[in-house]
Amino acid sequence: MRSRTLFGAVLCLIAAVSWGAMFPAAHVAFQHIDPFCFTVIRYGSVSLLLVLLLLWKEGKQAFRLEGKGMQLWFYGTMAFTVYNLFIFWGQDMAGEPGIMAASIMESLMPMISLVIGWVLFRKRSEPLTLVCVLVSFIGAVLVITKGDLDSLTDLSGQGISSMLMLIAVIGWVIYTMGGSKFPGWSVLRYTTLSCLLGTITAMSVTAVTTMVGYTELPSIGDVMHAGPQLLFVIVFPGIIALLGWNTGVSILSPVQGLLFLNFVPITTLAITIVQGYAITWFDVVGTIFIIASLISYYMLTKAGHKKPAAAYLKPVRTGNMREGVL
């Protein structure tokens, strides 16, 4: 039993570290390929691998939509178009500071899910939980603005990129909530079909932006230059983190898995320091605020012996279904 728990913890750790390393890798890739084409290439490849895996594991019958095609398309679009296009678009628009900003937005998902649950479903939270939300929000503001609050209203730069990343994270939270609509479906089936349909939407959006001249199709040389980063985000944050997190949380619990999200900004911060990017005290203090709020929320949830609203996040158990991730 103890070895199985350790195995689950290791899987969750690998997934979180992979997500933390994703944003620095994407920043390097954006020197050669725009975020739209980056997303399409990444999830086009992930979709293909997932389709082959689903076909091998569950056979052709697993591809039956069972009248849920529109729901799958909607939730897939939220995750693999809204989240992935907007998070990388915002990161690229922000430049080098966007690396930490995107990572912090990722770690804010548990707290954002609390806010969405309160606004949409009137699920009241404990006062101390709301304090955790406030602390995490302050941490995010410190990292994103570097202390310059006026930048949030800058509609020509930081303000727009921050809004794009916030919309992206909301899209992912909506996607993870959607897993409850597919009771009895396996993790692999829901993730594969939603990823496939969502990627088709992303391809359509990228085709339109290319036709109007906003984006430009990369040359083979550009793709080759970004090849190592593309390979990394496909294999690790894509396939390995996806399946590893789902398996790890099935062994542990959503509450215990939640704690591993702390390693997303920690990993990003460590990598950016090693790569020589300029790290400010606002980045460090903001990251500490986020981590402290997540740990406090975890402890409050554990003490209260109740399922957290943040368990909507990647992934959660809903009926017989555990939802997929990046």
Reduced to 3 states (helix: H, G, I; strand: E, B; else coil), residue 321 is: strand
Residues in the chain: 326
Q: What is the pLDDT of residue 156?
A: 55
pLDDT of 256: 64
Half-sphere exposure for 202 (CA within 13 Å, toward CB): 31
What is the Cα 178 distance to its own chain's centre? 15
Give the pLDDT score at 13: 87
Helix/strand/coil (H, E, C) string of 142-211? HHHHCCCHHHHHCCCCHHHHHHHHHHHHHHHHHHHHHHHHCCCCCHHHHHHHHHHHHHHHHHHHHHHHHH
Measured distance CA(314)–CA(326) in Å, rounded: 8
What pLDDT does residue 310 have?
45
Reduced to 3 states, what is the DSSP secondary structure of residue 322? strand
Placement of tokens 């570290």 in the chain = 17
Q: Which residues pair with 322 in a beta bridge?
A: 317
Domain count, the chain: 1
pLDDT of residue 257: 66
Asked if 144 and 280 count as a contact pair (C-beta separation under 8 A), the reply is: no
Looking at residue 233, its pLDDT comes to 94
The residues, ordered by sequence, that sit 6+ positions from 213 with a Cβ below 8 Å of its Cβ are none
Give CA torsion, residues 226, 228, 233, 234, to 10 deg. 100
Spans in the chain with pLDDT lower than 50? 305-306, 308-326
**Phi, psi values for residue 200, rounded to 5°:** -60, -40
pLDDT of residue 322: 42
Q: Which domain holds residue 114?
A: 2-322
Q: ∠ CA(283), CA(244), CA(114), 5° rounding? A: 55
Rounded CA separation 23/26 (Å): 5
Decide: 99 and 277 in contact? Cβ < 8 Å: yes
pLDDT at residue 315, as a whole number: 42
Please report, as a single letter, which amino acid is at residue 132. C
Judge whether 296 and 214 are in contact, CB under 8 Å.
Answer: no
Give 294's contacts (C-beta < 8 A, 6+ positions apart): 107, 110, 132, 136, 258, 259, 261, 262
CB atoms within 10 A of CB 6: 11
pTM flag (> 0.75): yes
